[in-house]
Amino acid sequence: MLKGKKTLKVALAAIAATTLASGLLTGCSAGASAGTITYLTVQDSWTHADPQRNYTGRDIAWFGSYLNRTLTAYDRAPGAAGSAVVPDLATDTGKASNDNKTWTFTLRDGVTFEDGSAITCEDIKYGVSRTFATDVITDGPTYAIGMLDIPSAADGSSTYKGPYSTDAANDTASFDKAITCSADHKTITFNLKRSVGDFNYTTTYLSFGPVPKAKDTGDQYDLKPVSTGPYKIKSYKAKDQMVLVRNTNWKADSDPLRAKRAFPDKIVVKFGVASEVLDQTLLTDKNKTAVSLDSLQPTNLTAVFGADGKPVKKYADRAINVYDPYVTYTAVNVKKLNCLPIRQAIYYAKDFKGLITLLGGQALAGDPADGVIKPLMGLDYAKTGFASEDKDWKPEGNVDKAKTLMDQAKSECPALYARVTDPKQGLVYDAPDSPSNKNASAIWIAALARIGVTVKFNFIEAGKYYAVVLDATKQGDLSRAGWAPDWANASTVIPELFTKEGGFPMSQNWDDPAYAAFKQRVVANLSQADRKKQGAEWAALNTYAMQQMWVIPNVFSKTQEIWGSKIGGAFFWEPQGSLSFGDLYTK
C-alpha cells in the first residue's frame, strides 16, 4: 500500500554489466523433463494474462517463462547476470540508429504461435497497437504510447487509438509509420519520437509481444492469450485454476532462452487458496512440488526465518529472504516545506526503529534506506552518507540534532516554523487508509512531538490514494510513497521522482532553489551513452536529492519466497523481483 503508482509493476533491481550478453545458459542443469509444478496463490486470478496488460514483475516473469515471448528478455540467471538483456524472438538485442531513435529487430526462424502459424512482424505490430486501445486494454504499460513517433492530440493523448477504434479520425497512418515491417515479414522497425538508449530493455515488457489479429478477442483475450512459448493454456478459470500443458508447436531450437529448461510436463496454478491453507501447505510440505506465488503471512514468517533473516534449518533449501525492487519513503512536498532545516529535522527526528518493528523487524521487513536507489542496482547505487552511514542518524531518532535544526529553522524560516509547531495547524501527512498505516501514524506523531512538531494524518481511501496525492493541489506536506524502477537503470527512478515531467513527482521540488542545477544534470545524464558514467551520475543525483531532503527514505524492503521440497532450480530473478519460474523443476 506504500508503494508508488507503479505498484503494479516491478522491474529491475540490479545490474552488473550492460553487456547485452547473448543467451548464455546458466544456473540450471539438474532439471528433468517430467512432473507437475503446482503454484498456489490467494489471488482469485492473474491480475492479467493478456501480454499487453501484464505489468507486475512476478506476472511478467511467470508468463514470460512459460507462455509469452517478446523481442528481448532478461537472462534467466541468478544475481546480477539476470539483469542482462538477451534476444528472445529477435536474433539479437536490437540495432539502434538515428541517435537511438530507430530500433530494428529481426525475428528468428521457426518462431510460431501455439497453432503452428509463424510469428510475423505484423503480429508484433498488432500486439503493440493494442497498447493504444487504452479503453479496452487497461492497466498495461504504456511505453509504446510514450515512445513511438505518433503525434499527440490537444489533450495530450495519442492520435492513434488502437485497432478497435471505429473513429474515422483514428490516426492509423501515423502508427503504420511508427512501426514498419520488412517485405519478408521478419524485420520490425520502431521509430521513436525521442532517443531511447535502452529501448531494448523496454521491449522486455510482454506488451511488445505478438498477438494474432484473428484470435484477438479484445477484453476477453485476457482469459486465453495465444501462446508463443513452450507451454499453452489448457484451461484457465478464475477462482479455480489454470492448467498449462506443453505447446507441441514450440520449437526448442527457435528459443535458446527456454530450450532445455521447459522441465515440467504440466503446470497448474491454484487460485483463491485461503492464506492460512496456503501457508500450512508449504510449511508442512504437504504438496512437495508446490510453489507459493505469495508471501507468507507475517505470523508464519517467523516459523521459517530466524532472527538473522535467514531461513531456519528445516527450510534452508526451500525458502529465501531477499531485497524486493521497492524503496519506501516519505515524499516531502517541497513547495509547502520550503525550508531545508525543517525537512532535515523531520529526517533526524523520525523513529525508524519504531516503524520497522511495526513491519515485523529489520530482518524481514528491510533495511534503512539511504536514498531512492536500492543497492541491487549496482551501477547506479552508491552510499549517500545518510541513514546508517550518517553518524548523527539514530534508528530511534536523534532528538538533539533535530532540535538544533529546528532552532535554526526558527530564525531562517519563522513563518513555516510557526505553522509546524502550532498544535492547531502542524503538518499534514497523507497515507492510504489501512490498519498498518494507522499504527504507523502513532509512531510518527510521537516522534515529531519530541521536537515540538505537530503532525496530522490525512487517511485517504486506498484505491484513490495516488490519484489524490499526485494532484498538486490536494497533496499534504508529507506523503507516504514507494517506488520500484521499471528496469535496471535509475533513469526510471531519479527523473520520474524528482523532475516536473516525471511520472511520480510527489516532491513538488521544481521551485526549490536547488532544482535548476539538478534538472540540468538529469537531462544531460539521460543521454549519457556511457552506462558506467551514467550510473555514477545517478548515484550522485540520488545523494543530491537526499541532501535537499526531497524525500525521507524509509526502507529497502524485502520479500520472502517459499516452495516445496521436491522443487529444484529455484533462484531469485532480480530484474523481475520474483522466482525465475521457468527454471523450476520437480526433483
- For 526-557, give one letter per residue: b (16+ CB within 10 A) or e: bebeebeebbbbbbebbbbbbebbbbbbbbbb
Neighbours of 423 (CB within 10 A): 10
Q: Binding residues for another protein, per CB under 8 A?
A: 5, 8, 38, 44-45, 47, 133-136, 138-139, 155, 157, 163-166, 218-220, 222-223, 237-241, 270-274, 276-277, 280-281, 284, 286-287, 463, 466-467, 470
Nearer to another protein, 15 or 267 (CB): 267
Contacts with 256 (C-beta within 8 Å, 6 or more apart), sequence order:
23, 25
Nearest approach in angstroms of CB 141 to another protein is 10
- Owner of C-alpha cell 499534504: 476
Query: 3-state SS of 452-467?
Result: CCCEEEEEECHHHHHH
Torsions phi, psi for 118 (to 5 deg) = -70, 145
Nearer to another protein, 5 or 558 (CB): 5
Nearer to another protein, 135 or 400 (CB): 135
Nearest approach in angstroms of CB 354 to another protein is 30
Nearest approach in angstroms of CB 466 to another protein is 8
Check: CB of residue 573 under 8 Å from CB of residue 28: no
Nearest approach in angstroms of CB 230 to another protein is 24
Handedness of CA 338, 341, 347, 351 (dihedral sign): negative
Nearer to another protein, 279 or 370 (CB): 279
- For 382-395, give one letter per residue: b (16+ CB within 10 A) or e: bebebbeebeebbb
3-state helix, strand, coil in the chain (%, to 5): 30, 20, 50
Distance CA 500, CA 517 (A): 14
Q: Read off the C-alpha cell for 457.
A: 494524518
Nearer to another protein, 50 or 255 (CB): 50
Nearer to another protein, 158 or 189 (CB): 158
Nearest approach in angstroms of CB 126 to another protein is 12
Pairing between strand 36-40 and 290-292?
parallel
Nearest approach in angstroms of CB 336 to another protein is 22
Nearer to another protein, 260 or 474 (CB): 474
Nearer to another protein, 129 or 247 (CB): 129
Distance CA 481, CA 460 (A): 13
Give, in order, the Cα–Cα distances in Å from 213 to each of 37, 121, 163, 236, 418: 32, 12, 9, 21, 63
Nearest approach in angstroms of CB 4 to another protein is 11
Q: Read off the C-alpha cell for 304.
A: 521459517
Nearer to another protein, 8 or 431 (CB): 8
Nearer to another protein, 8 or 15 (CB): 8
Nearest approach in angstroms of CB 163 to another protein is 7
Of the candidates 508, 509, 40, the residue with the CA atom closest to the CA atom of residue 270 = 40
Torsions phi, psi for 267 (to 5 deg) = -130, 130
Q: Read off the C-alpha cell for 318.
A: 526451500
Concatenate the DSSP letters of all residues of 183-200 into one string: TTS-EEEEEBSS--TTHH
Nearest approach in angstroms of CB 11 to another protein is 15
Q: Read off the C-alpha cell for 265.
A: 510436463
Nearest approach in angstroms of CB 398 to another protein is 38
Nearest approach in angstroms of CB 362 to another protein is 30
Nearer to another protein, 33 or 299 (CB): 299
Nearer to another protein, 30 or 274 (CB): 274
Nearest approach in angstroms of CB 50 to another protein is 9
Of the candidates 135, 115, 199, the residue with the CA atom closest to the CA atom of residue 491 = 199
Of the candidates 44, 37, 48, 36, the residue with the CA atom closest to the CA atom of residue 9 = 48
